[in-house]
Structure 1
Amino acid sequence: MPSTNYPVTKTVNANASNANRKKFHLSELEKMRKGGFWLRKWRLVDVVNLCWITGIHVLAAFAPFVFDWGAVMVALGLGLFTGVGMSLSYHRLLTHRSFKIAKGLEYFFAYCGVLAGQKDPISWVSTHKSHHKYADTERDPHSPAEGFWFSHLGWFCYNDYIVAKCGEYSNVPELKAQWFYMFLHETYFWHPTALGGLLYFYGGFPYLVWGLGVRATFVCHITFVIRSAGHIWGERPWNTPDTSTNNWWTGTFALGDGWHNNHHAFPNSARHGLEWWQLDLTWELIKLLQLTGLATDVKLPSEAEKRRMVLLGSAQTNKTI
């Protein structure tokens, strides 16, 4: 597949004021919104992302016709590894620094995330940091205010729009300074493609369908739905300044990441399922790593932070009334 260096957004003069920078970005965003999603200039990275999403769905459609127990077991195993790569590595470790692990183990989990097919660590972490910083505002990279479809999937194939909203990876200098993450950023699409080739070489078309198509389609959608449904439907035990919600089904299938209101209330917490009945498999793995000495500096919300969050929520409710 072709190299996909991400495009550099337009910049203003280095001596321009912050006001001019803000005005520039807002004007660019307005132009992009008026231009719509489909009738616009398509960058190579967006075309490849769209082809990837389309391709895994087409492969998944063949699943009933090439059922194979070996292929299903491979899909389940890869689904677990890549799901952990997204939840434990991309999300809780690289974005929120909820705990620390040795660099070699960090790189291993990050590579599992790469094989999920949801962009490289630099791109994903930068977008998610912006989501927390600008949640539910016009600069949120995948705000539900722009519609369910866009918050679920459209943003994934519109790199220029995300860059215009949030900047081009300026919020992840710690990742850009590491050769491993820069290597993944420059070569990202080759890795899930190579995995597809290995699956086909090992087990033929059924293994490609189940190990790549079905597995990647499920992992992508269960992650994407947190961005869309996770800001529309569900419970809000914490009165956060955004629309994040808890959903038991995304909490279960997204390995704990679906307890999204909990997460927005305490973004640096390594544990998202804060109640005993809120299943959080990623947290169970982090606990295991902690017990074996492989994970340190594990962050959890204190009782004082929980009380403060409740008090802030009560103050916001009273103010609204």
Structure 2
Amino acid sequence: MFAALAQNVERVVRGKREKVELALVCLLSEGHLLVEDVPGVGKTTLARAMSASVEAEWARIQFTPDLLPSDITGVSIFNQGTGAFEFHPGPIFANLAVADEINRGSPKTQSALLEVMEERRVTVDGTPHPVPRPFMVIATQNPVDMDGTYPLPEAQLDRFLMRISMGYPDHQAEVALLAGAPTGALLDRLPPVMGRDDLARMIDFAQRLHVAAPLYDYVVRVVAATRDHPDLRLGASPRASVALLRAARVRAAAAGRSYLVPEDVKALAVPVIAHRLIVTPEAELRGRGGADVVGEVLASVPTPQAAGV
């Protein structure tokens, strides 16, 4: 089912199998995705194709400096007929919510996503309103044009299970894109391959996969090693350990296994951990980034032997 889902999305997002699979792993881990890349490489198209493939409802929120928190969460409006306030949900009440150019919203507006990303509910006037399942925020930001933007705070970055970059397509994929039908037309005709209930069952199945004790220890050692690294001001939190394990379970299930292996953890460590790290100014001047540190950590932490796994 994972392969069928990936193939369906690839009908629109061409030449990006690895990125598509990472996005689907994030979806099936019930996590949120941050796509950081230049305009025009298919960030919103990826979100729409994922939504169309699973018969899910999607909504797009265009972040601007004048966007208000209530424009995202919804408002309570007084109904004169009933004499009571009625809650009118905002666009965040969708299965896939696309926060386009999230860093163009003010910090107050960005903070409106903190509760729903962590607790999957929105509290308005003291009343909690749960969002539907599955629920995923796919946020995009442009790393080139930084005028009029507000950097995402660490608390919000930590709530994204993964950060990926789409990148430019290779030559053959771009030629195929030009020769094929327009992307919008393909999206409109993209058939769903499963329903929301099927997706929920896949999520539950993946999280029941067996994890050997040495792998629990391995995940914690990898994450904890970032907290003492000399090139970092801030290492990864325990939330990163939970996210890495959930994503590794999905990767193992997608590969047809009922158990995890160390390669599942290693393959996802960079997209899950790197964006949570804050590099020291000295390391940044040397061109070091979070991905470099994660690579060093993976090389230094002993891998569990096959007999122990």
When the two structures are superposed, what TM-score results if normalisation uses the length of structure 1? 0.26
When the two structures are superposed, what TM-score results if normalisation uses the length of structure 2? 0.27
Would you tell me which structure has more strand in proportion to its own residues? 2
Would you tell me which structure has more helix in proportion to its own residues? 1
